[in-house]
Amino acid sequence: MIISLGIECTAHTFSIGIVDERGKIYSNTRVIFKTEKGGVHPREAAELHSKEAINVLKKALNNAGFVKIKVGDKLCFVDVLYELKKYLENKFTVFERFHEEPWNRYRYLILNDGVEVWVEDQKIKSTDEEIEKKLNKIFNRIKRDLNNFERKINLISYSAGPGLYPTLVQGAFLAKELSNTLNIKIIGVNHLIAHIEIVKLYNNFKDPVILLVSGANTMVLAYEGGRYRVFGETLDIGVGNFLDKIGRLLSLGFPAGPKIEKLAEKGKKLIELPYTVKGMDIHLGGIYTYIKNLLDRDRNISLEDLSYSIQEHIFAMLTEIVERAVAHLNKKEVGLTGGVAANRRLQSMLKSMCEERKIKFGTVPLDFANDNGAMISWTGILWFKKSVKGINTIDPYWRPEGIEITDT
């Protein structure tokens, strides 16, 4: 069983996820660099990442039910909940569970009388103190048995680009350190492809068109001719950043996307704005300037109507380029991801387009739509199995078209 620890570090988020080759996600832990205005300062973000890396790693291992075990000069990360489950199975009925809360996955065991068991700080914790004591004795016995562990982390994946140079360096550094000390393989994967792969895993999609809409990115991606390609993108700023910039104009605070969504629900009148689709691409700078001028002329404009109109225009533009890609490539599935994917109006526009075309639509919870380590782990496993050539360095401008992938 391949079990990968994946590191995400392309921008504001430093995240570690642990995933196995069946696609089970044991943990997905992160810290996010935040400023009042929402911009990412690359060096400051990298400083936070380097300071927090060890804490994120500890939490990812704990949440997954893995512990660090050292016998002699050998070090490994062992799936201790699995070892415990094996041990207990003829004495108790044991269920394995996963919490699905956003920002964190958490794996634990439930024994037959409802007692919960998890790992924290290299110890077994439980809702029953007596059982906890007994389990820790067993756990200490298990720890001496390095050769008999069936399941341990055996692949390190990291996000090698595209992204910000200073933050990419932090992730690659930790990945190499872990691969050396654990003596296991390492693979550098493409961040954009990882966003696609986690949507496919979650929705059980085979060959979708993906709309990735985050702060910095806005892209239409799909597999064609042996590689993932960018079929359309923003020619200037990402949709998330655009909404945040508008938010600054309107003093809405950061992040503005959710606030614009709320205001838009009460909007009634459609204010005409520029509609700027160029072939498969969009651009947003002109719309921003138009809105800025509109506000300069009329400070009493209804924020509800303006928010509503912004959403209707921008999301229609996005739906149009996605539909064009679907028609051109004859695809049967559409996936939506990135921070802006949380928007209900965008989801419903894409959904109706897909219903009209009788094709599938799917998105992912925020935990997997934002930058996350789980998607990097999962892509690492896929690439490892298909012998896709990753890179063992970093590339801040790494485009997916350059990567040959035999099938999806």
By CB under 5 A, residue 83 contacts Mg ion: no
By CB under 5 A, residue 367 contacts Mg ion: no
At closest approach, how far in Å is the CB of 240 from ligand AMP? Answer: 3
Based on the number of CB atoms within 10 Å of its own CB, is 44 exposed (0-12), middle (13-18) or buried (19 or more)? middle
How many CB atoms are located within 10 Å of the residue 360 CB?
18
In the complex, the residues that contact ligand AMP under the rule CB under 6 A are 214-215, 240-241, 243-244, 255-258, 261, 338-340, 342-343, 370
CA angle 299, 304, 307 (to 5 degrees): 90
DSSP state of 11: S
Sole window of 82-90, 157-165, 213-221, 355-363 interacting with Mg ion (rule: CB under 5 A): 213-221
The answer to whether 11 and 40 have CB atoms below 8 angstroms apart is yes
Sole window of 94-102, 121-129, 209-217, 241-249 interacting with Mg ion (rule: CB under 5 A): 209-217
| 171 versus 338: smaller Cβ distance to ligand AMP | 338
Nearest Cα to Cα of residue 276 among 339, 213, 321, 218: 321
Task: Collapse the DSSP code of 271 into the 3-class scheme (helix H, G, I; strand E, B; otherwise coil) and give the result.
Answer: coil
Size of site (CB under 5 A) for Mg ion:
2
By CB under 5 A, residue 8 contacts Mg ion: no
Question: Which residues is 333 bridged to in the sheet?
Answer: 360
By CB under 5 A, residue 244 contacts Mg ion: no
Q: Which of Mg ion, ligand AMP, none has residue 155 at its interface (CB below 5 to 8 Å by kind)?
A: none
The amino acid present at 106, given as its one-letter code, is Y
Based on the number of CB atoms within 10 Å of its own CB, is 311 exposed (0-12), middle (13-18) or buried (19 or more)? buried
At closest approach, how far in Å is the CB of 323 from ligand AMP? Answer: 20
By CB under 5 A, residue 371 contacts Mg ion: yes
Q: Which residue has the tokens 């099938």?
A: 407
Residue whose C-beta lies closest to ligand AMP: 339
Tokens of 351: 């959904």
At closest approach, how far in Å is the CB of 294 from ligand AMP? Answer: 20
Q: Which of Mg ion, ligand AMP, none has residue 240 at its interface (CB below 5 to 8 Å by kind)?
A: ligand AMP
At closest approach, how far in Å is the CB of 133 from ligand AMP? Answer: 43
* Longest distance between any two alpha carbons in the chain, whole Å: 76
At closest approach, how far in Å is the CB of 20 from ligand AMP? Answer: 25
| 83 versus 261: smaller Cβ distance to ligand AMP | 261
Tokens of 73: 């000069």
Q: Which of ligand AMP, Mg ion, none has residue 261 at its interface (CB below 5 to 8 Å by kind)?
A: ligand AMP
Q: How far is CA 16 from CA 147, 358, 374, in A?
A: 26, 37, 7
At closest approach, how far in Å is the CB of 343 from ligand AMP? Answer: 3
| 7 versus 153: smaller Cβ distance to ligand AMP | 7
Torsion of the alpha carbons at 377, 184, 105 and 372, rounded to the nearest 10: -40
At closest approach, how far in Å is the CB of 8 from ligand AMP? Answer: 11
At closest approach, how far in Å is the CB of 255 from ligand AMP? Answer: 3
Q: Which of Mg ion, ligand AMP, none has residue 166 at its interface (CB below 5 to 8 Å by kind)?
A: none
Nearest Cα to Cα of residue 28 among 259, 250, 198, 217: 198
* Residue ranges in contact with Mg ion by CB under 5 A: 214, 371
